[in-house]
Chain A
Amino acid sequence: MRSTHTRARCFAAGARARRRAAGLCALAGALAVFGGACTTLAGASVTGITVYAAASLTDVFPAIDAGPSYSFAGSNTLAAQIQLGAPADVFASANTSIPAALYAKGLVEQPVDFTRNTLVIVVPKSNPASVSSIYDLTKPGVTIDIAGSGVPVGSYTLAILANMNLTRAVLANVVSEETDVRDVLAKVALGQVDAGFVYSTDAQTVPGQVRVIKVPAWAQPKVTYAMAVVTHSPNQAAAQAFVKEVLGKAGQAKLASYGFLPLVKPSEKVATKPPAKHRPGSHKTTDAG
Chain B
Amino acid sequence: MAPGLTRSQLLSCGARGGATLLVGGSALGVLAGSAQGAPPSGAPGPLSAADLANARLLIGAELLMIDFYTNALAAKHLDRGAQADAGLALVNEREHYDYLAFVLTSAGLEPLSAAEVDFSYPARSYYSAASVVGLAVTLETLALGTYLGVAAAGLADPALAGGVAQITANEAQHLSVFSQRARQPAFHDAFPAPLTIAEASDALDAYTS
Contact = CB atoms under 8 A, between A and B. Distances in A.
Interface of A: 118, 133-135, 162-165, 167, 214, 216-220, 222, 264-265, 268, 270-274, 289
Interface stretch (B25-33, B173-181, B197-205): B197-205
Interface in B121-136: 121, 124-127
Interface of B: 49-50, 52-54, 56-57, 59-61, 63, 71, 74-77, 110, 112, 115-119, 121, 124-127, 197-198, 201-202, 204-205, 208-209
Nearest to A288: B127
Contact of B126 (A118, A134, A216, A272): A272
Contact of A217 (B54, B127, B204): B204
A200 to B, nearest CB: 9
Contacts of A167: 49
Nearest to A163: B56
A232 B182 CA distance: 67
Contacts of A289: 127
A133 B56 contact: no
A218 B60 CA distance: 5
Would you call the interface of chain B mostly helix, strand, loop, or mixed?
helix
A165 B76 contact: no
A273 B127 contact: yes
* Dominant secondary structure of chain A at its interface with chain B: loop
Contact of B205 (A164, A214, A265, A274): A214
A120 B46 CA distance: 30
A217 B56 contact: no
Contacts of A220: 112, 116
Contacts of B112: 217-218, 220
B50 to A, nearest CB: 5
B115 A217 contact: no
A164 B197 CA distance: 10
B121 A270 contact: yes
19 contacts: A133-B198, A134-B201, A135-B201, A165-B53, A167-B49, A214-B205, A214-B209, A217-B116, A217-B204, A217-B209, A218-B57, A218-B59, A218-B61, A218-B201, A271-B127, A272-B74, A272-B126, A272-B127, A274-B127
> Which residue, B125, B204, B209, has most C-beta atoms of chain A within 10 A?
B209
Contacts of A271: 124, 126-127
A264 B60 CA distance: 19
B60 to A, nearest CB: 3
A37 B200 CA distance: 55
Contacts of B121: 270
A232 B205 CA distance: 46
Contacts of B53: 163-165
Contact of B208 (A135, A217, A222): A217
B118 A265 contact: yes
- 7 closest A-B pairs (Cβ-Cβ)? A218-B60, A165-B53, A217-B208, A272-B75, A135-B198, A272-B126, A165-B49
B58 to A, nearest CB: 9
Given A163-B53, A165-B50, A272-B74, A218 B127 contact: no
A113 to B, nearest CB: 14
Contacts of A217: 60, 112, 116-118, 204-205, 208-209
Contacts of A135: 197-198, 201
A274 B208 contact: no
Contacts of B208: 216-218
Given A164-B56, A217-B204, 13 more contacts: A162-B49, A165-B52, A216-B204, A216-B208, A217-B116, A217-B208, A217-B209, A218-B60, A218-B112, A218-B201, A264-B115, A270-B75, A271-B126
B104 to A, nearest CB: 10
A134 B204 CA distance: 13
Contact of B118 (A218, A222, A268): A268
A266 to B, nearest CB: 10
B105 to A, nearest CB: 15
Contacts of B115: 264-265
Contacts of B57: 218
Contacts of B74: 270, 272
Contacts of A163: 52-53, 56
A218 B125 contact: no
A218 B52 contact: no
A176 to B, nearest CB: 25
A162 B49 CA distance: 7
Contacts of B49: 162, 165, 167
User: Which of A133, A217, A274 has the largest count of B CB atoms less than 10 A from its CB?
Assistant: A217
